[in-house]
Amino acid sequence: MSNGNAATAATPILQLSDIHTYYGSIHALKGISLEVHDGEIVTLLGANGAGKSTTLRSINGLNRPRQGHIRFQGRDITSVPAHEIVKRGIAQSPEGRRLFPRMTVIENLEMGAFQRKDRSEIKGDMDRVFELFPRLHERRTQKAGTMSGGEQQMCAIGRALMARPKLLLLDEPSLGLAPIFVERIFDIIKQINEQGTSILLVEQNALMALEAAHRGYVLETGRIVLADSAESLKTNEQVRKTYLGET
């Protein structure tokens, strides 16, 4: 079920080098270095508070690192404002979905494209989102806040895709979803990747994440303690005990 190995010879599409990020005086990330290559799904594993979401916030400009460098497509984006990072090709589906509950599905999707200048191509991208998520097409005029958790998650991912990202950041896409929706979401994540979008995935369901990913990093208290192929991490004794629930 794993995607096999992605081509990793080229320059990484995303590169974090020695990133230190703080919340006030709290040292949340303590020298994170990682890479995502073009065409890869890379997953970040770790317990709550390990620094996974902070890593995404450091990338997307919401929590600027005090030290280290972040490069996207070879260009330094460490100090680039969040809205500009979206323009450059990084979009995120945030933890908790954060839709506009009183707006319809279509209006939420349109918000994902609000910075785009190629208005004529937005309709085609919305059709692509509806192909990936037929349920959203059925619900397109429904207010987002009245949908199920799984439908809202689909809408949040669809909204991120409307920005036409080269790199998609996914923060806990399966959180709080029924098992049938979890499988559907992961099938779609793989489809999005196969259509050419690189993905950095933060996910509590470690087994599903490793089944979908090419490579993974394990974070503990703001540091990377393991980095390997997804296949190797699945068979790693420490990962199996700590994240896959085996004894």
Please report, for residues 1, 71, 105, 169, 213, the alpha-carbon distance to residue 186 in angstroms, rounded to integers and kept in the order given. Answer: 11, 27, 21, 14, 10
- Per-residue pLDDT at 4: 45
**Most confident among 9-13, 117-121, 168-172 (mean pLDDT):** 168-172
Alpha-carbon distance 244 to 79, whole Å?
Answer: 36
Q: Is the pTM of this model over 0.85?
A: yes
Instruction: Select the more confidently predicted residue: 103 or 94.
Output: 103
Is residue 3 pLDDT above 50, yes or no?
no
Contact call for residues 204 and 174 (beta carbons, < 8 A): yes
Q: Which of 5, 91, 85, 76 is nearest to 40 (CA)?
A: 5
Which string of DSSP letters, residue by residue, matches 181-197? Answer: HHHHHHHHHHHHHHTT-
Q: How far is CA 166 from its chain centroid? A: 12
Q: What is the pLDDT of residue 1?
A: 43
**CATH class of this structure's domain 12-89+166-247:** alpha beta
Q: How far is CA 164 from CA 20, 42, 118, 161, 225, in A?
A: 29, 19, 11, 5, 33
Query: CATH 3.40.50.300 in the chain, residues?
Result: 12-89+166-247
Tell me the three state secondary structure of residue 36: strand
Question: Regarding predicted confidence, which is higher, 11 or 108?
Answer: 108
Question: pLDDT grade, residue 8 (50/70/90)?
Answer: very low
Residues 190-202: what's their mean pLDDT? 96
Greater pLDDT, 117 or 174: 174
Most confident of 5-14, 19-28, 238-247: 19-28
Averaged pLDDT for residues 80-91? 94
Q: What is the pLDDT of residue 247?
A: 56
pLDDT digits (tens, 9 = 90+) for 213-222: 999 999 999 9
**Measured distance CA(52)–CA(65) in Å, rounded:** 14
Q: Which two tokens stand for residue 134?
A: 């037929």
